[in-house]
Amino acid sequence: MKTPTRLMSLDAFRGLTMAAMVIVNNPGDWGHAYAPLLHAEWNGCTPTDLIFPYFLFIVGVSLTLSRGTMGNPWQVVKRSFVILGLGLFLAGFPRFPLETWRIPGVLARIAVCYLAAAFLFRATAPADGIWDDRKRRSHALTLGAWAIGLTLAYWAVMMLVPPPGGVAGDLTAAGNIGAFIDRTVFGRHVWSQSKTWDPEGLLSTVPAIATTLLGAIAGLWLGSSAEPRRKVYGLLVAGLVATAVGWVWGFSFPINKNLWTSSYVWFTGGSAAIFLAACYAVIDVVGWKRWSRPLVVLGLNAITLFVLSGLIAKTLTLIKLTGADGKAVTLRSIIYQSWFVPLGDPYNASLLFALANLVLLCGVLYWMDRRGLYLKA
């Protein structure tokens, strides 16, 4: 497989996605976070609900650009287990409670989706290892058929198969069949804030794999010999069609991030293609690259950024000092109350705290970039 020149637009897209993740995950006060920086309560889609599927879409695009995808299969397996291990470490840090240690999670889902999509990509690739445009088109159509099949199968299970003691088509948090599977398989090892279901559960990982495959299809198109502007138009048209399919499907199978519904797959996958088209047009086609450098730095060390962000957030909460009233207070609370709350409007103070987290992490990653340190799974 011929590896195309590295796409700076893809690194910038990844960096922007990761920057958004840091901001939405680290408000100073969850009670004073702007609505677009919060997930939809259940059905629906806010800008925050785009972050995770965008990252999986990017994982899919990256599959087509990496020599490792078609190399030693054990390298794919190893990378998946490293990502899974990092996720388990973050979930357990610092006490690692064996009885309630969360097993599903964001990194766990990324690991499974990467593993499944990579092996599907390998299994459906041209037997002779030569990717001309005709074979790329055939390969993309095969992956598209898989994405359609996975989302249709998920719809059928969620809408037609009743969980024991429940009813078919129950899409409530605790009543859907995916939640029943998670309680049965994981028990107390699900998301602690719900205890009855997990937003990164087993069954909903199936359509998340489809999201990754949509990214792989986009990557195959970008790696073709088509003229760059035609690639932009192709991504835009495909993205608009997929977004429309998801929106229409949402009337009968609601767009829902927590359930990763099939409508959510196509709606967010289509919008990711549109966003990638915009980045590709501006950075790689027109050549306006200088402005994107900070995003590229974040994108090149995405896993490092994710892990550091989680560790810093947990550590600031774990460190406790004695407040003016003699009671224990977290270091995070002291920093926020002392440095940010006095700045004025509580919503702006909360946002500034999140931006300060991002600036700190950007400084660390810039330091790593200048020394050529890129930590890969």
Q: Per residue of the chain (377 residues), what is the pLDDT tens digit? A: 544 457 999 999 999 999 999 999 999 999 999 999 999 999 999 999 999 999 999 999 999 998 878 888 999 999 999 999 999 999 999 999 999 999 999 999 999 999 999 999 999 999 877 788 999 999 999 999 999 999 999 999 999 999 999 999 999 999 999 999 999 999 999 998 888 999 999 999 999 999 999 999 999 999 999 999 999 999 999 999 999 999 999 999 999 999 999 999 999 999 999 999 999 999 999 999 999 999 999 999 999 999 999 999 999 999 998 877 778 899 999 999 999 999 889 999 999 999 999 999 999 999 999 999 888 77
Distance from C-alpha of 272 to C-alpha of 188, rounded to nearest angstrom? 34
Distance, CA of 324 to CA of 250 (rounded, Å): 52
Q: Are 202 and 104 in contact (CB under 8 A)?
A: yes
Residue 270 neighbours by CB under 8 Å, 6+ apart: 238, 239, 240, 241, 242, 243, 244, 245, 246
DSSP category for residue 130: -
Q: How far apart are CA 199 and CA 189, in angstroms?
A: 13
Cα separation, 286 vs 127, in Å, equals 36
For residues 125, 126, 127, 129, the Cα torsion angle rounded to the nearest 10 degrees is -100
Which pLDDT does position 5 carry in this prediction? 58
* pTM for the whole structure: 0.95
The pLDDT, as a whole number, for residue 337 is 93
Please say whether the beta carbons of 214 and 57 come within 8 A. Answer: yes
Q: Please enumerate in sequence order all residues whose Cβ is within 8 A of that of 76, keeping only pairs 6 or more positions apart, or say none.
A: 68, 69, 114, 115, 118, 119
Q: Cα 73 to chain center, whole Å? A: 23
Beta bridge partners of 320: 330
Region of 189 (left: φ > 0; alpha: ψ -120 to 50; beta: rest) is: alpha
* Nearest in space to 219 (alpha carbons), one of 66, 49, 76, 70: 66
Predicted local confidence at residue 255, as pLDDT: 98
Tell me the C-alpha to C-alpha distance, in Å, between residue 177 and each of 110, 161, 202: 22, 7, 11
DSSP state of 320: E
Judge whether 192 and 205 are in contact, CB under 8 Å: no
Q: Would you state the pLDDT for residue 112? A: 98
What per-residue confidence (pLDDT) applies to 192?
87
CA distance 108 to 243: 26
CA distances to 94, 275, 316, 323, 326 from 329, in Å: 18, 42, 11, 6, 9
Count of other CB atoms within 10 angstroms of residue 343: 12
> Is cis: bond before 94, omega within 30 of 0?
yes
Structure tokens that stand for 30 in this block = 């969850």
| Contacts with 52 (C-beta within 8 Å, 6 or more apart), sequence order | 106, 257
The pLDDT of residue 110 is 98
User: By the 8 A CB rule, do 28 and 336 touch?
Assistant: yes
Q: What phi and psi values does residue 126 have, to the nearest 5 degrees?
A: -55, 135
